[in-house]
Amino acid sequence: MKPTERSAGLDGRPRISAKGAEPQDNRSVPLTEMTLAFDDNRFASLVLGQYDQNVARIERRLGVAAHANGNRVTIKGPTDACESARRVLETLYSRVKLGQHITLGDVDGAIQEVALQGSLFPGEPEAGRDQFDQIATRKKGPVRARNAAQDQYLRALKKCELVFAEGPAGTGKTWLAVGHAVSLLEQGVVERLILSRPAVEAGERLGFLPGDMREKVDPYLRPIFDALHDFMEGRHVERGLQTGMIEVAPLAFMRGRTLTNACVLLDEAQNATSMQMKMFLTRLGEGSRMIVNGDPTQTDLPPGQKSGLSEAVHLVSKLEGIGHVVFREGDVVRHDLVRRIVAAYESAHPRVGPGGF
């Protein structure tokens, strides 16, 4: 096949040169070599990553050989894999041009996004979308889902007033939920954020903690506070806590309340008892949204006590207006090693039915 040239259009997409390579024998997969030329060297360096680490990640994940030289990247390998690598690099380049920072997690997300383009949730009106859904806050800017499960999660959060999310650690359940909650607050959809979780120690007795209500609950809600500071300026978080716009409420103190015009997040919900979960779900008031996250495989309840999360998913997740998203070990975005650790535990202790019920 003769080399073909495609020049950059008005959108500034990379120029591409491609040429075919004859397979070594009839059983071999057709190979291709293509070269991408980015228009802006500064943007190109951000796409390639420090010491070309993003290119190396694409090589490992897609099974191609890629070599970067200045603003040019040469890709060699099976035709389909090379085409996927090209689309990943173009996707990353377009995001860098918008001012977005690229991490290895974003590279993984772009690879999954490209792999699913044209087949995202077939049978739904949105099928054929060419990119995952996203949220945006003033501090963080746009944050896009990195896999199909996160995409489904973000869409459920935007569509449903109550969403259950189950899955292992590191899948982004809490982080994305906090980002969505902050987005709703900044848009004026809700007036306050209410953060809660059961005060259950992970296998240890910590005794009585000193301080006021917030100081006692802080250690349990630290992951949520970390996410809040990712999406909001520190001074805004502190001001919100002082004015009540952001409220920290232990699950046990929810009884008798009606939560209106609020986004309510219950984290580590697998540690809620059946009665606590029923009490929490019935606090939902007018104009409010509720997000319930947890991992049924990591419950710290006493032996023999049923998890309220598993029971609630079993009883109400099919009701109209309620979303339910299940993350698997393949959806872990925290670290590749975390993904393998979760997979090892899943293999040793498989879950029993939907919701672990």
Question: Mind listing the pLDDT tens digit for each residue in 100-112?
Answer: 888 888 888 888 7
pTM: 0.71
Top-confidence residue, 195 or 340: 195
Q: Under a CB-based contact definition with an 8 Å cutoff, are residues 54 and 102 in contact?
A: yes
Query: Which of 271, 306, 261, 275 has its CA nearest to residue 292?
Result: 271
Q: Under a CB-based contact definition with an 8 Å cutoff, are residues 131 and 113 in contact?
A: yes
What does the DSSP assignment read for 62-81? HT-EEEEETTEEEEEEEHHH
The rounded distance, in Å, linking the Cα atoms of 170 and 222 is: 15
The rounded distance, in Å, linking the Cα atoms of 327 and 172 is: 9
Q: Which residue has the tokens 């300026």?
A: 233
Name the band, by pLDDT with cuts 50, 70 and 90, for residue 17.
low
Over range 114-118, report the average pLDDT.
68
Tokens of 79: 């035709």
Top-confidence residue, 8 or 64: 64
**pLDDT beyond 60 at 158:** yes
% of the chain surpassing 90 pLDDT: 34
Q: Under a CB-based contact definition with an 8 Å cutoff, are residues 129 and 152 in contact?
A: no
Top-confidence residue, 245 or 146: 245
The rounded distance, in Å, linking the Cα atoms of 66 and 225 is: 40
Over range 324-338, report the average pLDDT.
82
Over range 158-187, report the average pLDDT.
93
Over range 320-338, report the average pLDDT.
84
Q: Where are the domains of the chain?
A: 4-116, 143-351
Fold exhibited by the domain 4-116: Ribosomal Protein S8; Chain: A, domain 1 (3.30.1370)
Query: Which of 123, 177, 174 has its CA nearest to residue 154?
Result: 177
**pLDDT beyond 70 at 4:** no
Over range 212-229, report the average pLDDT.
77
Name the band, by pLDDT with cuts 50, 70 and 90, for residue 2.
very low
The rounded distance, in Å, linking the Cα atoms of 146 and 258 is: 35
Highest mean pLDDT among 106-120, 290-304, 335-349: 290-304
The rounded distance, in Å, linking the Cα atoms of 74 and 66 is: 5
**pLDDT beyond 90 at 341:** no
Name the band, by pLDDT with cuts 50, 70 and 90, for residue 118.
very low
Determine if residue 141 is left, alpha or beta; phi over 0 gives left, psi from -120 to 50 gives alpha, anything else beta.
Answer: left
Q: Under a CB-based contact definition with an 8 Å cutoff, are residues 196 and 217 in contact?
A: no
Question: Mind listing the pLDDT tens digit for each residue in 176-187?
Answer: 999 999 999 999
Beta strand 162-166 with 246-248 is: unpaired
User: Secondary structure of the chain in the HEC alphabet?
Assistant: CCCEEECCCCCCCCEEEEEEECCCCCCCCCEEEEEEECCCHHHHHHHHCHHHHHHHHHHHHHCCEEEEECCEEEEEEEHHHHHHHHHHHHHHHHHHHCCCCCCHHHHHHHHHHHHHCCCCCCCCCCCCCCCCCEEEECCCEEEECCCHHHHHHHHHHHHCCEEEEECCCCCCHHHHHHHHHHHHHHHCCCCEEEEECCCCCCCCCCCCCCCCHHHHHHHHHHHHHHHHHHHCCHHHHHHHHHHCCEEECCHHHCCCCCECCEEEEECCHHHCCHHHHHHHHCCECCCCEEEEEECHHHCCCCCCCCCHHHHHHHHHCCCCCEEEEECCHHHCCCCHHHHHHHHHHHHHCCCCCHHHC
Highest mean pLDDT among 271-285, 297-311, 340-354: 271-285
Q: Which residue has the tokens 């007033």?
A: 161
Question: Mind listing the pLDDT tens digit for each residue in 188-204?
Answer: 999 999 998 887 654 44
* 326, amino acid identity: V
Name the band, by pLDDT with cuts 50, 70 and 90, for residue 7.
very low
Give me the chain's average pLDDT, please.
Answer: 81
Element (H, E) at 229: helix 213-231
Quick one: pLDDT at residue 121?
Answer: 43
Quick one: pLDDT at residue 208?
Answer: 58
Which CATH number does the domain 143-351 belong to among 3.40.50.300, 3.30.470.10, 3.40.50.720, 3.40.309.10?
3.40.50.300
**pLDDT beyond 50 at 5:** no
Name the band, by pLDDT with cuts 50, 70 and 90, for residue 354.
very low
The size of the chain, in residues, is: 357
Of 59-63, 109-113, 158-162, 179-183, where does mean pLDDT reach its minimum?
A: 109-113
Total Cβ atoms within 10 A of residue 350: 8
Quick one: pLDDT at residue 16?
Answer: 57
Over range 253-259, report the average pLDDT.
87
Name the band, by pLDDT with cuts 50, 70 and 90, for residue 328.
confident
**pLDDT beyond 90 at 142:** no
% of the chain surpassing 70 pLDDT: 78
Over range 275-293, report the average pLDDT.
94
Quick one: pLDDT at residue 19?
Answer: 59
Top-confidence residue, 336 or 241: 241
